[in-house]
Structure 1
Amino acid sequence: MADTRLIQSRYRLLELIGRGGMGEVWRARDESLGRQVAVKCLKPMGPQHDQAFTRILRERFRREARVAASLQHRGVTVVHDFGEHEGVLYLVMELLDGHNLSQLLEENKQHPLPVDHVVDIAEQVADALGYTHRQGIVHRDLKPANIMRLTDGTVKICDFGIARLGHDIGMTSRLTTTGIAMGTPHYMSPEQISGKEVDHRSDLYSLGCVLYEIATGVPPFDQDDAWAVLVGHRDTRPEPPRTHRAELPGFFDRVVLDLLAKAPDERPADAADLRRRIVLGRSGEQPLPGPLTHSGDAPREAVLPPWTRSMTVGRRAVGTLYGAPEPSNPAAGLTGRWTAATATAPAPHSHSFVSVPTGPPDPDLLAALAGRHSAGIDLGRLGRWEEAGEVHRAVAAQRARVLGPDHPDTLASRYEVGFTLSRTGRAEDALREFGRVAEGRERTLGADHPQTLAARQETAYVLGQLGRHAEAHQVYETVLAARERAMGPDHPDTLRCRHNLAFNLGRLGRPEEAWQVAREVADARARLLGPLHPDTLATRYEVAYVLGRLGRHAEALETYQDVARARATALGADHPDTFAARYETGISLGRLGRNAEALELYRSLVADRTRTAGPADPETLRARHGLGVNLGRMGRWEEALSQARDVCALRERTLGPDHPDTVTSRREVAVGLGWLGRWNDALVAYRQVAEAHSRALGPAHPRTLAARNDEAHCLERLGRSQEAAGIHRALAAHRAQNAAPPG
């Protein structure tokens, strides 16, 4: 890592943008997708930490990273990826353009934020917490440094992974002796301080502390001594915020005091109730009264847990990984000190991969297999699916020997095997593999477990690949019903399943139903994730596609244009998804007869595709094909023929002579030759198309028959009517045979 500053051959570290007790955050470039991201690296443990501790840390990181990656809400930082590279655990997130609340206070010289900003932040954070709490996730480390306000006013909660991990470690007395910093005590709930079990209401208390500080400029308990701060949280009622700042609204004063109730039962019931009260207060309506009776002073004999005595007060509202980097050697964390700490760790011996332990599995072997599993996933991300499949098959076999065939890790590897099979055109094999994984997960985890449902959903996807859309529909409906029961209708996984169901309905020839479902999913995703979230835009893209199938081309065009603009804003003008929406915009323009506009769109798209991916890239050639089609529609057949020939030659060289795209281009060559009156040449091209379709699809396939019909048309143009009649008789016999009922 020190030499290349490249993580897993994908994420190139560009600039250190923050450092905290648990690690660092870098601005980085995702080389695979060409986008800017933030990469958070967890600081490796030094030699003073034993191996058991390190294994616990890594496992907790992976578990919490999975939790963070599962959260999809406009108010929660998006996690794209996570893994381990050269001993450093990393998390890849969206790169946020804005400042955390700590920075906003510091830039404002610790003066409070404007009242309207404070109330807006309160409402947005309450909405995001409501979502995460419904997923069963408690943040446990909510503070100004973990809440970002973007330049467009959007508020996002950060650190659902590492922050929770750091707190869990700190709250375990055995682990606190290792020297991991607990962080600032200014935002801890009384139950956290007392070492009791915490739930979502602890987050509400921490949010009350945050709102108090950004509204008044100081936290509710602003002593210089950590012990005094902790005692204040436990024993002392805070002064009402309006005693510091009279202009604060009355409803806000009551909301914050209710959040800061000592007993969890006396706080708002949940974040949804909190948001409702804020919305009512902003609208001028009188909110329903909250808790009126707060607990009095706690018994003085109650003693704070021993771990609190080593805490330091720190600087309030700071300490985020998104804060300013330390001035001394900002790159040291990834370029020397961290790498050196892991360089001496012994690599697993090769013979350990084939040994079958008689006792508990060797932790080093399991760690090595986990690393190889991650490497296989990274190969897939790079498009190297064959290599990825080999890695996953080997890991699956080893895990089956060490852990058993139905162990979740074994099934996770087999799931990835299925994924690689589906991406390498082996849909039948993929279907069998996903079916076995689903059966194993059902035995081990239960029929309605999310991992079981994920495997079943992949079987539906592969059934669609095989054209078995009716069977796919049945599986999607079963999975959707289970997801709605277990997760609710608005869970991201539920919406993803409904999106796939809509897609499949369209392929079943049920476009009205497909449009209705896709529109509902798009509206739900916009509400939950935001109108610019990639998932929202993917469903709106599907809405546009179905509108085109329904012949509602004007509406399809408007939707595609909206999606193209939104993707350019959210993903970038050169993102492949943006290009895809522009391509479909051109298709819709052509269907509406607006060929000149379509032509200009395709010219610009060809230029952009060539610049970003090269002249022979399949998507560049697809755009050139669209350009040629529109040249023909405008009667510019010499140019159209030239374009079609170039594209056909490039496709034949890169994709093969019988690839569907190559055959499509060859037919476009034939069409151009016919319009130019060159029927002998057109006849040769149409025969080549018919032969290619016959080899790939069979002699009775509709596309093969259509190509033979084109051949007959050419013969008629050449005056060879008897040959044309022979072809027509053969076609009629084929159609009669296919139309006859089975005997």
Structure 2
Amino acid sequence: MAEDRLIQGRYRLLDIIGRGGMGEVWRARDESLGRQVAVKCLKPVGPRHEAGFLTVLRERFRREARAAAGLQHRGITVVHDFGEDEGTLFLVMELLSGRNLSQLLDDNRRRPLPVPDVVDIAEQVGAALAYTHEQAIVHRDLKPANIVRTADGTVKICDFGIARLGHDIGFTARLTGTGVAMGSPHYMSPEQIGADTVDHRSDLYSLGCVLYEIATGAPPFGSGDAWAVLVDHRDTPPEPPRTHRPDLPGPYERIILDLLAKDPDDRPQDADELGKRLADARDGHTGRTAPAVGGATVPAQRQPSWTRGMTTGSPAAGTVRRPAADRAAAVLTDSWTGGGAGRPHEASPAAGSARPVPPGDDPAALTARLEAGIALSRLGRHFEAYQVCAGVLAGRERVLGPDHPDTLGCRHHLAFGLARLGRLEDCYATAREVAGARSRVLGARHPDTLLTRYELGFVMGQLGKWEEALGTYREVAAARAETLGHDHPDTLAARYETGISLGRLGRSADALAVYRDLVAARTRAQGADDPETLRARHGLGVNLGRLGRWEEALDEACEVAAARERVLGADHPDTLVSRREVAVALGWLGRWADALGNYRRVADARERVLGAGDLEALASRTDEAQCLEQLGRTDEAAALHRRVAALRQERAARR
């Protein structure tokens, strides 16, 4: 295949990055979206190229590729697109930066990988298999070359659905003349060899072979020709891994040997059971425990390697403030679900033939329109933004279906667009539907699901549903802590909102405890002068005041105001909020003259920055007038009230 070829007018092949019995893998550029991808080109071979065979083959390929494209899990290589070009079947996948396990062993001169790496790979592959088996999909060709460890430590399984095409397309070289054609001999389960019924437990056997090899440096059966290897899989017990790797902990040896049981009934019955056994082995081996909870000690939760540096991306609305580090890393959905990529052709329900997508429904065009809608919202043009997003949603539902992650992402934006239009009840109902759909499609703990629930909590608060908001924030915080870690910025953001909800419910003592813990966590994770640490300290001071502890509240407010002025500037909105809190505490302590100076300072700054008619500037002038009244300066207070009233009338007239 010539270099620089353009597949289907979109994917420009750049250079070959892999060859095998199933075809070639190219690094390519998606000209529509301007990103690099991997394109696997699969060309039928052999004598069976009559029209009837090819028609069945194409339909089989379309069905299997669509099933692979529907898999949305961090541990599975994303399939962006598929189709046929000049007789070549092709799949477009995410381009991974990393090495497959076979390459890692070669890099290590075929010496076994470190035990922590073996355990990490086992846990991540097991989690991916648990997901795919729930979708009733079996890989059938799990081997080191099909498992990639990326640069950030994420482990991904490749080629789901492709192994099942092998026999029909004619890729897999036959091992013998007996008709055995599926799988690789070193990793095939006994039931595959014997042509028995194959289910998800066959993948567990293959995983056992993979783990045996990376733990010892060699597969469990490696001597002789291909047929001898197959016979060993069927009839010969494997040597215990510790025979070759004495430092491998006993519990992991037991797990590997159980995965390699000849009878599927003697293996772990599903990947979930495997995950639990791996967790038990890890905790038992390390001896780590978490702090006692209610007098009981619970196992520590280790943060998975794929969560390093993870964030949930930017909120759809500007109503929830997030740390700058979170806003800068909005790539999570892209890496898990394929981002804005879609399929330029969909199968016709009746004929099975491909029909072109209307230009307006091209995935790249839909993504560009959605970004334009988000930009309109940021400019305050909320109704136009809503109309644009509604059109994108209709297009994505036609092209991708209602439950595709990209469709759900658009529904997320649309839901919170309703809030910006003042339609809070409609937003509440729609966002709950989106949260439920994302939970069903992506999982209850997927960051996109948690993001929708997080922002839904804000709308609940706006509607006065503070008990419901509190429950939602607590659940999101717990899920993020389990997945991302207790000190991760997203976890801390949910805990901050938990404190807000408690304060709104009048539970200031509980809120105070949340904020004290949050201040410690933010200081530990981000530093004492980080804006988010200072925001947590502000919440702590507010709740000290609500509890009547005004001396402490004043001290806290003064320190936070000084720090914010140093870090953010004197006129920053957060600095002015803290300066006003200083004034409030001074007033409660009867120090009205000091309070007046702070109220006036805030009002002057807001008027200078926002304009005299801005609602926040007007509220600050009202604070100033009320403080003048407390000091007995009624004439000045009355004049200021009249000025505020006149400005409000001018504002109303302009509207």
After TM superposition, the score normalised by the length of structure 1 is 0.53
> What secondary structure does 2:36 align onto?
helix
Q: Aligned match of 1:55 in 20, 29, 46?
A: 29
In the TM superposition, 1:253-268 aligns within 5 A as 253-259=253-259, 268=268
Q: CA deviation at 1:130?
A: 6.2
Aligned equivalents of 2:387, 2:595: Cα separation in 1: 45
* 2:477 matched residue in structure 1: 522
Q: Which amino acid aligns with 1:239?
A: E
Letter in 2 for 1:587: V
Q: 1 CA distance for matches of 2:432 and 2:602?
A: 41
Aligned to 2:605: 650
1:673 equivalent among 620, 628, 653: 628
The answer to whether structure 1 residue 548 and structure 2 residue 503 are counterparts is: yes
What amino acid is the match of 1:656?
A: G
Find the partner of 1:494 among 449, 461, 480: 449
In the alignment, does 2:154 pair up with 1:158? Answer: yes
SS at match of 2:29: helix
Instruction: Give deviations 1:647-691, integer Å, cap 9, x for gaps.
Output: 222222222222333223222322332222222222232233333
After superposition, the C-alpha distances for 1:399-448 in whole angstroms (9 at most, x for unaligned) are: xxx96112222121111112112222222222222222222222332333
Q: Distance in 1 between matches of 2:121 and 2:638?
A: 71
CA distance in structure 2 between the aligned counterparts of 1:230 and 1:630, rounded to whole angstroms? 84
* 1:159 shift after superposition: 5.7
**Inter-CA distance 694–428: structure 2 relative to 1 (3 Å threshold):** farther
Matched residue SS, 1:58: strand
In structure 1, what is the equivalent of residue 592 of structure 2?
637
Q: What letter corresponds to residue 275 of structure 1 in structure 2?
A: G
Cα distance in 2 between the residues matched to 1:131 and 1:528: 17
Partner of 2:342: none
State the distance in 2 between where 1:650 and 1:199 align: 69
How many angstroms apart in 1 are the aligned matches of 2:227 and 2:376? 56
Change (3 A) 1:253 1:512: same
1:465 matches 2:420: yes
Partner of 1:513: 468
Q: Does the C-alpha gap of structure 1 residues 271 and 575 become closer, same or farther in structure 2, counting only changes over 3 Å?
A: farther
Structure-1 separation of matches of 2:606 and 2:229: 72
Query: C-alpha separation between the residues in 2 aligned to 1:634 and 1:230?
Result: 89
SS, match of residue 360 in structure 2: coil
Q: Assess if the C-alpha contact under 8 Å between 2:26 and 2:38 holds in 1.
A: no
Distance 1:230 1:692 in 2: 90
1:573-617 CA-to-partner distances (Å, cap 9, x unmatched) read: 444433332222222122112222223323332333333333332
1:476 is displaced (CA, Å) by 1.8
Alignment partner, residue 342 of structure 1:
none
Give the superposition deviation at 1:124. Answer: 5.5
Please tell me whether residue 595 in structure 1 is matched to residue 542 in structure 2: no
**Distance of 2:480 and 2:370 partners within structure 1:** 27
- Between the aligned partners of 1:91 and 1:590, the Cα distance in structure 2 is 53
1:624 alignment counterpart = 579
Cα deviation, 1:428-485, whole Å, max 9, x if unaligned, reads 2222222222222223323333322222222221222233211112212332343344
Distance in structure 1 (CA, Å) of the matches to 2:144 and 2:531: 37
In 2: Cα distance, 1:670 partner to 1:512 partner: 35
* Pairwise CA distance, 1:274: 0.7
Aligned to 1:274: 274
Provide the residue aligned with 1:313 in structure 2: none
Specify every segment of 5 or more residues in structure 2 that has no aligned partner in the other structure, as ranges.
1-12, 19-23, 40-68, 77-93, 99-103, 170-183, 193-197, 285-304, 306-323, 330-356
| Aligned-pair CA distance for 1:533 | 3.4
Aligned to 2:425, the other structure's residue is in SS state helix
CA contact (8 A) 2:133 2:200 kept: no
- Structure 1 unaligned blocks of 5 or more: 1-43, 62-66, 78-88, 94-101, 149-155, 174-185, 285-319, 321-377, 384-401, 702-743
Q: 1:54 is aligned with what amino acid?
A: A
CA positional deviation for 1:190 = 5.6
Instruction: Tell me if the contact between 2:28 and 2:36 (Cα under 8 Å) persists in the aligned partners.
Output: yes
1:598 & 1:211 partners in 2: Cα distance? 58
Letter in 1 for 2:359: G
Shift of residue 271, structure 1, vs aligned partner: 3.2
Determine if contact 1:628/1:640 at 8 Å carries over to the other structure: yes
1:434 aligns with 2:389: yes
Question: Secondary structure of the equivalent of 2:487?
Answer: coil
User: Structure 1 residues 499 and 243 mapped into 2: Cα distance closer, same or farther (>3 Å)?
Assistant: same
Q: Equivalents in 2 of 1:125, 1:280: separation in Å?
A: 15
User: Matched residue of 2:380: which SS?
Assistant: coil
- Equivalent runs, 1:58-207 vs 2, <5 Å: 58-60=36-38, 125=124, 129=128, 146=149, 157-158=153-154, 160=156
Mapping of residues 540-619 of structure 1, within 5 Å: 540-619=495-574
Cα offset, 1:211, TM superposition: 5.6
**Match for 1:452 among 401, 407, 410?**
407
How far apart are the structure 1 equivalents of 2:507 and 2:17?
A: 68
Q: Give % identity.
A: 39
Question: What RMSD, in angstroms, separates the aligned Cα atoms of the two structures?
Answer: 5.7
